[in-house]
Structure 1
Amino acid sequence: MTTGCKTTTVFVTVLCALLLTILGLVQEWPAWVWPVLAVLLIGIPAAAFKVASARRGPVPVVFEEQITAAPFERREQQVTRVALPSQWDDYDFQFSATVRWYPLDHGGDDRIVNPAGLAVEAVLDRARAITEQREPGRASLVQHELSGALSRMRPEGTGHLQVMAEDVTLVLREHDQERLDRLAEVRKDKAVWEHQRKYEQSKREYLGEDVLKDTGSAVVWWLAKNDDHVEKTVADLDLLARLTSAANDTEIPERLRDMLAQPSGERPVPFEREPTAADHFEAFINSMDLTDDDVRRFVAKQIAEVIRAQVPHATAEEMLRRYDPPADFTADDENEPTSTPPEDPDGAAGGTSGA
């Protein structure tokens, strides 16, 4: 019987004795009842104590040792904002948690003086093994990983304690988080710029090496862009020729210059370019008011032959193509006399007199 049960039994016995005494005085019980009542009030509690002791047996030694043992030891420790390394240098995590432990049955006389220190050291070692392999930009994800890894009781290095941690919190310093945010923005901006640069480069290669490679390619591309509208493409030939010439840094081919005329059928479209020697010669012929086509062809041929005899030059070929002299017009024609020379009066007279 426990101490509480004994106290309750004595209190009930005293209360019953008082009630029976009051009742006996009121009812005027006979004198022989009082001795019997006293025996019952003393015997019943004594019998109850004896029966309880017989059922419980002797007090165990372990229970007596527990009564004299030291008071209960607190088995948790708060850890706040401990720096743990990350995968990047100089970017440390801030670790906080509640460390819990319980002692293991360890034989020997090596008594643990500071179990809290062992428990905290074991938890920090387990946490550091994870954080030093993680990037600092994933602090919230690493926090959940630590919560799972530290939630299981495991023995620490000496084998005296089983250790775990709960309420894990993992953050970065405020200025480190700001730096990471700025770095992330720069990386994203750089990625966008790289994509734009590659897009523009690809577009230039497509236009320069495919679409504007020559005028024919530009015409085919323009037909496809305008749903095979041939009339519009023909009207834009001048623009396409100029655009192709500018893209390749070349002059418009001679064969295309005669083709490119205004819609009204007037003179070919003038092109801005440096005048050639043939252009200067044509300006010279026009300034001399030589309107006879035969004379113009003759003069052009003579000068072209002189140029060709001195040094091979494209100007001679261009002049011949431009004026297209007739086939019977040869260089020997210039040796023929163009008129009968006048007679010498003196010679004629002399001849007469001589005759």
Structure 2
Amino acid sequence: MRHRLPHLLFVALCGLAPAALGNLLHWSVWLSGFMCMVTASGSLLLVMRLTSGGRRPAAPHEPGPPEPPTLPTEQPYEETRVVDAALPSAADGYDFLFSATVWWKPTPDHAARSDGAFPVLAASSVVRRAMEVVRHEEPGRASFARYLLEGELGVPLPDLGGRVRALAADVTLTLAPADRERLRKLQDLRKDEEVWEHERLHEVNKRRYFGDDVLKSAGSAVVWWLTRHEDDIEKAVDMIGPLAQIAAAANDEEVSELYRHLLVPPPGTRSETTVGASRWDGPDHEQETGVSDRLGQLLTAMGLKPGMDGYTVLVLRVTQTLDEAGLPDAAEEIRRTLLPTPDEYDADPPADGDRDTDTDGFTPEAQNREAEQNTGRHTPHGPAAPHSRDETGS
């Protein structure tokens, strides 16, 4: 109570001061009373603020806060290494090479024990965890799997026996150089095969498009050509024959009778060179009519027969032309088939005895010259009667 007395005196003085001041200044009673109440209230609040200090003082009988319990000192992590541990991947025969720094410490239940197997347990625990992560990853995804390992192995976890807690840092995951080279080659081959397969499918689609749609008939081929050349109608008319021929070949059919007159070249017309080539160079030339047979038919149609000078002259000229054209085989066949041999000349000598009966020096050139000299003596339909020396004016 004694320590409150100065405070009360301070409040009373503050409350009476306005009354004394109002008496000197001749204030009204109401104003003096109001001012006294205001100053007394303000001084009282000020004293209460100063005495309380903004907080309630603790009671002398309240106990203080309990002291925190002393925590046991935590053991630091120790370090060991895992170098190039082979971990299986999703592909048989391709193993990852795993390396990392292993940080470990004993669990609280085994902290008092000093066991030399703790580093081995910690390394095996990390390797086992790493194997569970990468066993489903493809060998070509080693870089991606390394980030997965860093996340999984960065958390300290106990081993299966609960004796050590281990985590891993500085993780590396690679493949052997030979495996990397094999994977690169296989990847290149797989990409090339995919490109080849797409090209093959594209070719198959084009063949199906042309075979089943464009070249289904001559009309569809012409329509397809017109869509590509809308402004060239006259050319389209000229292309009807070739397109009909192509459409028939695509369907293994003969050209329709409607388009045969438009074929190029028209059917039944073959050049002499084509005939010779089909005879000597074709795969089935044994079954075709030979050049000598065709020439013999032509000579027969012209009325020329073997033994006639015109027949011999024409055959020799044909053989000479074939030799100059670079077709010696055809020329030799004609000589062997259509020209008489020296024995035939010996067996049937000329009746007038004017010709040389010695056939040892007989050559096709000599026969050609002789036939040309005697050509004028015969009619187109057969040989004339032999003349005597007197009739020729000798």
The bucket for the TM-score relative to the shorter chain is 0.5 to 0.7
Q: Report the equivalent of 2:160.
A: 157
Q: CA distance change for structure 1 residues 78 and 273 in 2, over 3 Å: closer, same or farther?
A: farther
Equivalent residue in structure 1 for 2:205, among 177, 202, 205: 202
Q: Which runs of 5+ in 2 are unaligned?
A: 1-69, 271-296, 304-394
Q: Report the equivalent of 1:143.
A: 146
State TM-score, norm by structure 2. 0.47
Q: Distance in 2 between matches of 1:92 and 1:254?
A: 71
Higher RCO (CA-CA < 8 Å; seq separation 6+)? 1
SS in 2 for 1:255: coil
Q: Distance in 1 between matches of 2:88 and 2:268?
A: 71
- Counterparts of 1:158-197 in structure 2 under 5 Å? 158-197=161-200
1:214 counterpart letter in structure 2: S
Structure 1 residues 249-305: Cα deviation after superposition (integer angstroms, max 9, x where no partner): 2221112224x289xxxxxx512599xxxxxxxx99xx699xxxxxxxxxxxxxxxx
SS in 2 for 1:78: strand
* Larger CA deviation: 226-235 vs 159-168: 226-235
Q: CA distance change for structure 1 residues 159 and 253 in 2, over 3 Å: closer, same or farther?
A: same
The question of whether the paired residues in 1 share the 8 Å contact of 2:154 and 2:167 is answered with: yes
Q: Distance in 2 between matches of 1:234 and 1:73?
A: 97
Equivalent residue in structure 1 for 2:260, among 253, 257, 261: 257
Asked whether 1:216 is paired with 2:219, we answer: yes
Q: CA distance change for structure 1 residues 232 and 108 in 2, over 3 Å: closer, same or farther?
A: closer
State TM-score, norm by structure 1. 0.52
The question of whether the paired residues in 1 share the 8 Å contact of 2:241 and 2:260 is answered with: no
1:82 counterpart letter in structure 2: A
Asked whether 1:75 is paired with 2:78, we answer: yes
Q: Report the equivalent of 2:356.
A: none
Shift of 1:112: 3.3
Q: Report the equivalent of 2:267.
A: 271
* Larger CA deviation: 218-227 vs 236-245: 236-245
Structure 1 residues 189-218: Cα deviation after superposition (integer angstroms, max 9, x where no partner): 111111111111111111111111110110
Equivalent residue in structure 1 for 2:240, among 222, 237, 240: 237
Q: Distance in 1 between matches of 2:258 and 2:96?
A: 75
SS in 2 for 1:254: coil
Sequence identity, in percent?
A: 41
Q: Report the equivalent of 2:92.
A: 89
Equivalent residue in structure 2 for 1:133, among 113, 132, 136: 136
SS in 1 for 2:226: helix
The question of whether the paired residues in 1 share the 8 Å contact of 2:106 and 2:165 is answered with: yes
1:196 counterpart letter in structure 2: E
RMSD (Å) for aligned C-alpha atoms: 3.2
Q: Report the equivalent of 2:122.
A: 119
Q: CA distance change for structure 1 residues 82 and 107 in 2, over 3 Å: closer, same or farther?
A: closer
Shift of 1:226: 0.8
Q: Distance in 1 between matches of 2:194 and 2:218?
A: 37
Q: Distance in 1 between matches of 2:251 and 2:231?
A: 25
Q: Distance in 1 between matches of 2:159 and 2:186?
A: 39
Structure 1 residues 157-216: Cα deviation after superposition (integer angstroms, max 9, x where no partner): 122222110100000000011111111111111111111111111111111111111101
Shift of 1:247: 1.4
Q: Which runs of 5+ in 1 are unaligned?
A: 1-61, 67-71, 263-268, 275-282, 290-355
2:254 counterpart letter in structure 1: E
- Counterparts of 1:36-55 in structure 2 under 5 Å? none
